[in-house]
Structure 1
Amino acid sequence: MKITSRPLLAAILGTSLLSGCVPRIEVAAPKDPITINMNVKIEHEIRIKVDKDVENLLKNRSDLF
Protein backbone atom coordinates (compact mmCIF):
# COMPACT_ATOMS: atom_id res chain seq x y z
CA MET A 1 0.00 0.00 0.00
CA LYS A 2 1.54 3.21 -1.19
CA ILE A 3 0.56 6.47 0.56
CA THR A 4 0.96 9.60 -1.49
CA SER A 5 1.71 12.86 0.16
CA ARG A 6 -0.55 14.98 -2.10
CA PRO A 7 -3.86 14.43 -0.22
CA LEU A 8 -2.09 14.82 3.11
CA LEU A 9 -0.41 18.02 1.97
CA ALA A 10 -3.71 19.36 0.61
CA ALA A 11 -5.46 18.61 3.90
CA ILE A 12 -2.76 20.34 5.96
CA LEU A 13 -2.71 23.33 3.62
CA GLY A 14 -6.52 23.61 3.67
CA THR A 15 -6.78 23.51 7.44
CA SER A 16 -4.00 26.04 7.89
CA LEU A 17 -5.68 28.44 5.45
CA LEU A 18 -9.06 28.08 7.17
CA SER A 19 -7.63 28.58 10.64
CA GLY A 20 -6.21 31.94 9.56
CA CYS A 21 -9.73 33.25 8.78
CA VAL A 22 -10.93 33.63 12.35
CA PRO A 23 -13.09 36.74 12.77
CA ARG A 24 -12.11 39.20 15.49
CA ILE A 25 -14.81 40.93 17.51
CA GLU A 26 -13.90 43.85 19.74
CA VAL A 27 -16.25 45.40 22.28
CA ALA A 28 -15.18 48.75 23.67
CA ALA A 29 -16.96 51.51 25.57
CA PRO A 30 -17.30 54.84 23.77
CA LYS A 31 -15.03 57.69 24.87
CA ASP A 32 -17.87 60.25 25.04
CA PRO A 33 -21.05 59.65 27.04
CA ILE A 34 -24.15 58.69 25.14
CA THR A 35 -26.68 61.53 25.00
CA ILE A 36 -30.29 61.12 24.01
CA ASN A 37 -32.22 64.24 23.05
CA MET A 38 -35.95 63.74 23.29
CA ASN A 39 -38.25 66.55 22.30
CA VAL A 40 -41.69 65.18 23.05
CA LYS A 41 -44.90 67.12 22.98
CA ILE A 42 -47.86 65.37 24.55
CA GLU A 43 -51.35 66.74 24.07
CA HIS A 44 -54.55 65.08 25.05
CA GLU A 45 -58.19 65.92 24.94
CA ILE A 46 -60.85 64.30 27.06
CA ARG A 47 -64.44 64.37 25.94
CA ILE A 48 -67.28 63.12 28.08
CA LYS A 49 -70.72 62.46 26.67
CA VAL A 50 -73.55 62.25 29.17
CA ASP A 51 -77.27 61.78 28.95
CA LYS A 52 -79.50 64.80 29.28
CA ASP A 53 -80.82 63.46 32.59
CA VAL A 54 -77.34 63.21 34.00
CA GLU A 55 -76.45 66.61 32.62
CA ASN A 56 -79.51 68.16 34.30
CA LEU A 57 -78.63 66.41 37.53
CA LEU A 58 -75.13 67.83 37.41
CA LYS A 59 -76.49 71.33 36.77
CA ASN A 60 -78.99 71.13 39.59
CA ARG A 61 -76.71 69.43 42.12
CA SER A 62 -73.37 71.14 41.65
CA ASP A 63 -72.26 69.95 45.10
CA LEU A 64 -71.82 66.36 43.82
CA PHE A 65 -68.30 66.97 42.59
Structure 2
Amino acid sequence: MQRGRGIWGAVTLVAGLVPLAGCINLEAPDEPIVIELNINVTQEVIYRLADDARENIEENADIF
Protein backbone atom coordinates (compact mmCIF):
# COMPACT_ATOMS: atom_id res chain seq x y z
CA MET A 1 0.00 0.00 0.00
CA GLN A 2 2.85 2.40 0.78
CA ARG A 3 4.41 1.84 -2.64
CA GLY A 4 1.28 2.98 -4.46
CA ARG A 5 1.11 6.04 -2.25
CA GLY A 6 4.71 6.99 -3.14
CA ILE A 7 4.07 6.61 -6.86
CA TRP A 8 0.97 8.79 -6.71
CA GLY A 9 2.88 11.34 -4.69
CA ALA A 10 5.62 11.48 -7.33
CA VAL A 11 3.05 11.76 -10.14
CA THR A 12 1.30 14.60 -8.30
CA LEU A 13 4.61 16.41 -7.73
CA VAL A 14 5.62 16.16 -11.39
CA ALA A 15 2.16 17.23 -12.54
CA GLY A 16 2.36 20.24 -10.23
CA LEU A 17 5.75 21.26 -11.60
CA VAL A 18 4.84 21.00 -15.29
CA PRO A 19 3.10 24.43 -15.45
CA LEU A 20 6.22 26.05 -13.97
CA ALA A 21 8.51 24.68 -16.68
CA GLY A 22 7.72 27.57 -19.04
CA CYS A 23 8.44 30.21 -16.40
CA ILE A 24 12.03 29.25 -15.62
CA ASN A 25 14.76 30.77 -17.81
CA LEU A 26 18.46 30.16 -17.35
CA GLU A 27 20.90 32.56 -18.95
CA ALA A 28 24.64 32.93 -18.64
CA PRO A 29 25.78 36.27 -17.20
CA ASP A 30 27.40 38.83 -19.50
CA GLU A 31 30.36 39.30 -17.15
CA PRO A 32 32.41 36.46 -15.67
CA ILE A 33 31.59 35.35 -12.16
CA VAL A 34 34.33 36.36 -9.73
CA ILE A 35 34.69 34.55 -6.43
CA GLU A 36 37.11 36.18 -4.02
CA LEU A 37 38.48 33.90 -1.36
CA ASN A 38 40.38 35.92 1.18
CA ILE A 39 41.37 33.19 3.58
CA ASN A 40 43.80 33.82 6.39
CA VAL A 41 45.61 30.58 7.18
CA THR A 42 48.47 32.07 9.18
CA GLN A 43 46.66 31.65 12.49
CA GLU A 44 46.27 27.91 11.94
CA VAL A 45 49.93 27.58 10.92
CA ILE A 46 51.07 29.49 14.01
CA TYR A 47 48.99 27.24 16.28
CA ARG A 48 50.40 24.13 14.61
CA LEU A 49 53.95 25.43 15.00
CA ALA A 50 53.30 26.35 18.63
CA ASP A 51 51.95 22.86 19.34
CA ASP A 52 54.94 21.26 17.61
CA ALA A 53 57.35 23.47 19.52
CA ARG A 54 55.66 22.67 22.84
CA GLU A 55 55.83 18.94 22.12
CA ASN A 56 59.51 19.16 21.14
CA ILE A 57 60.34 21.08 24.31
CA GLU A 58 58.50 18.52 26.45
CA GLU A 59 60.19 15.59 24.70
CA ASN A 60 63.66 17.16 24.93
CA ALA A 61 63.47 18.99 28.24
CA ASP A 62 67.12 18.18 29.02
CA ILE A 63 68.33 20.15 25.99
CA PHE A 64 66.65 23.36 27.07
Q: What band does the TM-score fall into relative to the shorter chain?
A: 0.3 to 0.5
Question: Of Structure 1 and Structure 2, which has the larger fraction of its residues in helix?
Answer: 2
Instruction: Name the TM-score, length of structure 1 as normaliser.
Output: 0.39
Instruction: Name the TM-score, length of structure 2 as normaliser.
Output: 0.40
The structure whose RCO (Cα within 8 Å, separation 6+) is larger is 2
